[in-house]
Amino acid sequence: MQTGSQSPKHRKTLTDRAKHASKGFLEPLAGFLFRMGVEPNFLSFVGFLLALASGVLAALGRFPQSGLMLLLSGILDALDGTLARQAGKTSRFGAFFDSFMDRYSESALFFGMACWATFENRHDMVLLVILSLVGSIMVSYARARAEGLGIACNVGLFSRMERFIVLIGTLLSGQLFWGLLFLALMANFTAFQRLFHVAKESRAGQSLNGA
């Protein structure tokens, strides 16, 4: 039961808007994959493998190639849900598996960048990678935990799509320091935005229950 007063329909993140805007591209492609007999969870797993390859390329300092691999991984990540809906194979496990692979995909890339920073003796970059990873995970965790408590939490400046765009731009440009600095600040800021949102919605729910 949602305890907050605002509906998630009134709060759309860039991720939500991107999913809606890309339907014209994703749905025909998902239809083709459905006819080919491709399973949604298979797409999720292949997307993870591409993200893993992106992390390996980042560790080797091949950042533009890493960015392109990450872009392909993101396309598959967007496709798996569309394919599941078209194939009538949406399930609680499928949704869990998709989110599970997403977290490992993000971690694989950050681990690769941390390896590169370690090889290059860039301790400042290692710190930024850790802060970026923590912020990214906490943004996702905050939403999942809040929704588990019945509180809609698709709020904040830096949802998954914003993080994805910054990472792609960072890798393609090779500007890791500035990209990761921006990502570390904004991801952790968004995590605390969600913390304060849940605190506000919780107080509103308690007020309603006590009325």
- CA nearest neighbour of 126 among 140, 115, 139: 115
- Own/partner pairs, 138-143, CB within 8 angstroms, 24+ separation: 138/187, 138/188, 138/191, 139/163, 139/187, 139/190, 139/191, 139/194, 140/99, 140/102, 140/103, 142/191, 142/194, 142/195, 142/198, 143/194
- Own/partner pairs, 140-144, CB within 8 angstroms, 24+ separation: 140/99, 140/102, 140/103, 142/191, 142/194, 142/195, 142/198, 143/194, 144/99
**Residue 102 catalytic?**
yes
HEC per residue, 108-153? HHHHHHHHHHHHCCCHHHHHHHHHHHHHHHHHHHHHHHHHHCCCCC
8 A C-beta contact, residue 103 and residue 137: yes
Among residues 16, 77, 102, 124, the one annotated as catalytic is 102
Which amino acids are annotated catalytic? 102
